[in-house]
Amino acid sequence: MYKIHKTTKEWLLDLLFPKFCVGCETEGLFLCETCKTGLLTRTLTPVCPVCSFRNGTGAVCKPCRKKTALSRLVAVFPYQEKAARELLHIYKYNRVREMGPMLTEFLTAHVQNWRVPFSRTMIVVPIPLHRARRRERGFNQSEEIGKQFAEAVGLLYRDDVLERTSYTQSQVECADFRERRKNISGVFSAREAPEIRHKTIMLVDDIATSRSTMDEAARVLKEAGVKSVWGVVIARG
Ligand SMILES: [Zn+2]
Ligand SMILES: [Zn+2]
């Protein structure tokens, strides 16, 4: 999948901005083969996102359903995992686009390993950034991961059904749980499109430090007629 021969531009970029492994600081790649193998042994067993019951499916158990609009949440790595966190950080803030396919590969493999039972009629939707923030950052990492993930598993991708209508402080900067909930409430709006009515949406985000963003997006989508919402994220707090 990865190109073996470097173009002159890639060669120059490597020379000007050498890459160091986030695990062992060896020069050459953002994640060397050894650290990649190690990281892949530290993926998460899917749990109920509310009570953390290790069900191996990520499904929300019956008593927990009143506490979240999500039906399922699957996360690849724990947020405490330094290497995963740093890869996401480099991707988001240094806009290293090549990180996308690697992270998507981790997500796709995880979903397949755990046999997450998605069906062909499900639609992949990324957690949107506010238009101003997207312009500021140049891209939305969740869109990129979502698009590549949808392609890898053969699902429809839509980034025009959910919109972030207010410009909020990023969730990571906002430490207090209650603050986060208040902060996120009312920031999304969903389009009542016939294409999403009665469908199951797979929401994609890079990080879920708490469940509040996913919960709020799921709530708004269900209000717009979506049947159920599953979440998939690279890292979870
Ligand atoms: Zn390494
Ligand atoms: Zn539960």
pTM: 0.88
Residues 10 and 117 in one domain: no
Residues 128 and 217 in one domain: yes
Q: Which ligand is nearest to the CA of 20?
A: 1
| 88 Rama class: left (phi>0) / alpha (psi -120 to 50) / beta | alpha
Whether the CA torsion 212, 215, 218, 220 is positive or negative: it is: negative
* Chain-centroid distance, C-alpha 209: 11
User: Is the separation of the CB atoms in 133 and 167 below 8 Å?
Assistant: yes
- Residue that is written with structure tokens 């430090």 in the block: 209
Ion ligand 1: protein residues whose beta carbon lies under 5 Å = 21, 23-24, 32, 35
pLDDT at 95: 81
User: What is the Å distance from ligand 1's center to 234 Cα?
Assistant: 19
Low-confidence stretches of the chain (pLDDT < 50) are: 1
Residues 123 and 195 in one domain: yes
Residues 22 and 132 in one domain: no
Residues 117 and 24 in one domain: no
Q: Which ligand is nearest to the CA of 19?
A: 1
User: What is the Å distance from ligand 1's center to 2 Cα?
Assistant: 18
The neighbour count for residue 127, using CB atoms within 10 Å, is 24
Residues 76 and 34 in one domain: no
CATH assignment of the domain containing 165:
3.40.50.2020
User: What is the Å distance from ligand 2's center to 58 Cα?
Assistant: 9
Domain that holds residue 119: 43-236
Residues 146 and 209 in one domain: yes
User: What is the Å distance from ligand 1's center to 74 Cα?
Assistant: 26
Give per-residue pLDDT as tens, 54-99: 999 999 999 999 999 999 999 999 999 999 999 999 998 888 888 9
Residues 111 and 201 in one domain: yes
Ion ligand 2: protein residues whose beta carbon lies under 5 Å = 48, 50-51, 53, 61, 64
Q: What radius of gyration do the chain's Cα atoms show?
A: 18
Residues 68 and 35 in one domain: no
User: What is the Å distance from ligand 1's center to 81 Cα?
Assistant: 14
Helices (H), the chain: 8-16, 33-39, 82-93, 99-113, 131-137, 141-153, 177-184, 212-223
User: What is the Å distance from ligand 2's center to 55 Cα?
Assistant: 9
CA distances from 35 to 22, 109, 133, 207, 215 (A): 8, 17, 33, 21, 33
Residues 59 and 5 in one domain: no
- Give, in degrees to the nearest 5, the angle at Cα 192 between 189 and 195: 125
Residues 82 and 157 in one domain: yes
Q: Domain tally for the chain?
A: 2
Residues 55 and 162 in one domain: yes
